[in-house]
Structure 1
Amino acid sequence: RSALEAIPYPGSFHASDAVLNFFGTLPANNSRHMMGTLIAFVNNLDPNKHNMSDVPAWPQYESTSQSIILWSEAGAEIVADD
């Protein structure tokens, strides 16, 4: 039994995206989309310069709108950052 079991699960955690990016977990489209946006950001300082039509434009984070991109099995969508 792990000592961490008593800690409530808060949602996504630091480096949780590494599983999608580097270990080939399903769904494969999420991995392709996330890697594409990260590579676009590294190359262009803009995650939207990726030439993938099935990924919504990743909004710049602003303290007033606080929207983020949510990756799910159904695809990616822009949602409010609660």
Structure 2
Amino acid sequence: MALTALPLELFALICGHRERVDWFALRIPCRAAFSNTFEVFAKRYYTSLRLLLTTESLRRLERIAADDTLRPFVQEL
């Protein structure tokens, strides 16, 4: 049985226990996995952002702020 055939809640629960590199390995090659795990992924990795005061870090923040799908998940910097 494919992971994407699991009920969304169970699939998201399983993914919630994976490391960041595992998330990317799962989400990049599979559109269904990408869309099915987006909310769980965004809540885990975008709710609280850690930034340095560097040009690259501020550019990252600017890209996230401009992204209509990621922006709502950011709660603290």
Higher strand fraction (1 or 2) = 1
Larger gyration radius, structure 1 or structure 2? 1
Higher helix fraction (1 or 2) = 2
TM-score when scaled to structure 1? 0.25
Higher relative contact order (CA 8 A, sep 6+): 2
TM-score when scaled to structure 2? 0.26
